[in-house]
Amino acid sequence: ATKDDCKIYMRANLQLAKWAAAGHLPSFDEYLDVAGVEFAIFFTLAFILKVMDHNICEKEAREWLESREKLVRVLTIKGRLVNDMAGYEDDMRRGYVTNSINCYKKQYGVTEEEAYRKLSEMLGDGDKMMNEEFLKPINVPYQFLKVIMDTLRAINFVYEKDDGFTRPANIKNHITSIFVDII
């Protein structure tokens, strides 16, 4: 990741903190633009490029990553939405109202249930888009493409049933079954 990537990431964190402190609900699209960056998919992938095997041409892989704006955007939105949906009740208990569900409810005047349903539909559409992007011809090393797919798998795993990132005990048994209690 470059210095500019770090600056973009930190600005997004700062903006979210300002919104949260003020109890501000931006438009849904504005929220996704900022909170998606804060979820750090692009930043993480760009950083991984820096530390990967030196046989990979970092410049070409970076250009490929930047040219796949749609793929990165869908990954970013997926991560942000599943995080917000899994942690919604905890956020509300803490008084943290700036999240995708509340922004969607406010912008479209819908109930919480309708917002969840619509965001779930968006996740399904995003999965279809990602599959389309992965099927396009690529000229990037397989190792880097595997990192992107593994990032997606990690998001799916951590947020499959609950917020396993905030409450890792929720995925402890599953992790134990994979690495300790091997069949």
Residues 66-75 have pLDDT tens digits of 777 788 888 8
- Tell me the two tokens of residue 41: 């998919």
Domain range enclosing 94: 3-179
Quick one: pLDDT at residue 39?
A: 82
Of 24-33, 133-142, 146-155, where does mean pLDDT reach its minimum? 133-142
Model confidence at 174: pLDDT above 80: no
Number of domains, the chain: 1
Quick one: pLDDT at residue 36?
A: 86
- Amino acid identity at 88: Y
144 DSSP assignment = H
Quick one: pLDDT at residue 41?
A: 83
pLDDT tens-digit map of 3-59: 888 898 899 999 999 999 999 999 999 999 999 888 888 888 888 877 876 666 677
Contacts of residue 80, Cβ cutoff 8 Å, sequence gap at least 6:
32, 35, 36, 38, 39, 100
Residue 31, domain CATH: 1.10.600.10
pLDDT-derived band of residue 163, with 50, 70 and 90 as boundaries?
A: low
- Tell me the two tokens of residue 36: 């998606």
- Tell me the two tokens of residue 157: 């795993």
pLDDT-derived band of residue 137, with 50, 70 and 90 as boundaries?
A: confident
- Tell me the two tokens of residue 47: 């950083």
Quick one: pLDDT at residue 167?
A: 66
